[in-house]
Structure 1
Amino acid sequence: MFHVGFVCAEYRRRDGDGDDELVGGSGLSRSPSRSRMIKRLESLNTVISSIWWVFGFYWIVVGGQPLLQDAPRLYWLTVVFLAFDVFFVIFCIGMAFVVFLALFCCIPILAIAYAVASTEGASEDTIRSLPKYRYRPATVLSTFNNLGMEEVLGARSGLGNNGSSGELFLHSEDSECCICLSSYVDGAELYTLPCNHHFHCSCISKWLLINATCPLCKFNILKGDTLV
């Protein structure tokens, strides 16, 4: 009954605050102090109710037979209330366990399943259709100017798309396979992905059979997008 009274008082206070704001803000000076007092009384009532619940539960369990003989209706009414409280507590604990199980078990399993589904490998035909080049170290003559370099690379790219190996000129700082972490040697066969990243043919072929994404930028060569 005390709790119902506190709820009604809080509801009337909020309703009164809304009316005061519509009128012009009168009575706002006493609302905060009254609200704090109601909240403190409500908290105190909650603590006392919890303690009283523990003592009442103990008395019902220990003195059940005398109470049943003297006041059977009051006894069974109390038992019903206590059973409802116990059921509510068990229900809350069960829901918390279900939420915990969903967060720490189901969600990681779904995430792993999604990751496995999104990292399917590419077929051998798809891998063989990638542009294939032979690595050549970039020299001073081949990089005389950027325009000449672009023209050479454009001509070589056309050769690679026809099935024969073109030549790919790379500087020393960019001539390393990130899969095996080995530097390219002159004449090594390379595959270039649509994202313009290059790797050893053997290294990237094994990788793409398991995961059809670029090891550097996660570009999916099957779907044509980047995984985030």
Structure 2
Amino acid sequence: MEEQRALRPTLNHSLLRYPTVSTTFTIPLTRYTTRLISSDRHRPLLADCAEDHSDSDDFSRRSFIRENCSYSMPILVLDVVWNLAFVLVSVVVLFSTFRERPSTPLRLWISGYGLQCLLHVGFVFFEYQRSMAHHGFEDRAAHRSIMKRLESMNTMTSSVWWVFGFYWIVMGGQALLQDSPRLYWLTVVFLAFDLFFILFCIGMACVIFFSLCCCIPIVAFAYAMTTREGASEEDIRTLPKYTFRQAAVLGTFNLGKEREPISSTVELDNGHRIKELALHPEDSECCICLSRYEDGTELYTLPCNHHFHCGCIAKWLRINATCPLCKSNIRRGDTLV
């Protein structure tokens, strides 16, 4: 038997469910965030959520456990209170407007709106009770599938119902406002809430889009420029400087050994000393300009022992302080890639 261990809640479901078209656009924000499962009151053990099972259905069981093991009580209460508030307001206005005679069926629309809120509260409460009960995995999955279908049907009905409400408000016009002001304004408020959440979700999507498409590349570029900042003139001047000579002048390479550069110091007639570098013919080429070295050409060698024309490597290092071959940073001595 496996050791029983506490499961960390990870469920995302509905918050502040609006039974209108906004639910279609705001499912991640509203309807399916009620189950942000992080309650300390209900932390079931592995045996509470799943029984011994084979490897074939391990993934599906773990997925079910992650989504249904516990509920966040504050979010659950907020969702229920929010929707019940809509129901209460609808009932109060309907009972207080018997004398109003709207030219469009606003009473029917408000009643349907409140009913959808009430159904959503029932779905949430049923889901919470089911998650707290100790049933088998198969029973819990079957009940969850049924409730998801019913909630999806309620969402689709809400979307269509919002369109009806908007149409009746527009068709009623000024006459509807004069004949049934309270029913009119309540319908407008409900529609406005839904429209607000639509715009809110669109705005959040735009913010996320621009963050991903604009901000992140800018930050990445700034980081790259920081890590690949060019070398200063002082850094370049401190590099070892040599004068190239053909290998035969200083000696020959032992073909049985690795062909390493041969450096020596030569004293001139005027007392000055110069450093000479002898390279194998196959290695006597600058990989930046792709030109072969000639006798008397001045070369810079980097800490990684790669060599280049002084002019070529100086231009390179002012832009990027790394070796063109091995990407070793000349200031830190590390390797970037």
TM, length-normalised to structure 2: 0.55
Query: Quick check: 1:165 aligned with 2:275?
Result: yes
| Match of residue 207, structure 2, among 76, 98, 122 | 98
| CA drift at 1:137 | 5.5
Deviations 1:144-166 (A, max 9, x none): 5438x66x84xx27x49xx7323
Higher percent of residues as helix: 1
Helix, strand or coil at the partner of 2:305: coil
Query: Quick check: 1:15 aligned with 2:132?
Result: yes
Distance, in Å, in 1 between the alignment partners of 2:255 and 2:306 is 23
Deviations 1:112-140 (A, max 9, x none): 33333443332333212212234455679
Q: How does 1:176-195 map to 2 (within 5 A)?
A: 176-195=285-304
Give the letter aligned to residue 4 of structure 1.
V
| CA drift at 1:175 | 3.2
Unaligned runs of 5+ in 2: 1-117, 267-272
Unaligned runs of 5+ in 1: 21-25
Indicate conservation of the 8 Å contact 1:133/1:168, yes or no: no
Change (3 A) 1:33 1:146: same
Helix, strand or coil at the partner of 2:151: helix
Indicate conservation of the 8 Å contact 2:244/2:299, yes or no: yes
Distance, in Å, in 2 between the alignment partners of 1:33 and 1:9 is 14
Indicate conservation of the 8 Å contact 2:253/2:280, yes or no: no
Distance, in Å, in 2 between the alignment partners of 1:117 and 1:185 is 36
Helix, strand or coil at the partner of 2:277: strand
Deviations 1:49-82 (A, max 9, x none): 1111111111112214343344322221111111
Change (3 A) 1:7 1:169: same
Q: How does 1:43-62 map to 2 (within 5 A)?
A: 43-62=152-171
Query: Quick check: 1:146 aligned with 2:257?
Result: yes
Distance, in Å, in 2 between the alignment partners of 1:221 and 1:100 is 38
Query: Which residue does the alignment assign to 2:325?
Result: 216
TM, length-normalised to structure 1: 0.79
Moved over 6 A (4+): none
Query: Which residue does the alignment assign to 1:111?
Result: 220
Indicate conservation of the 8 Å contact 1:135/1:170, yes or no: no
Change (3 A) 1:112 1:43: same
Indicate conservation of the 8 Å contact 2:245/2:276, yes or no: no
Change (3 A) 1:59 1:131: same
Q: Over the residues paired in the alignment, what is the CA RMSD in angstroms?
A: 2.9
Change (3 A) 1:144 1:65: closer
Change (3 A) 1:170 1:28: same
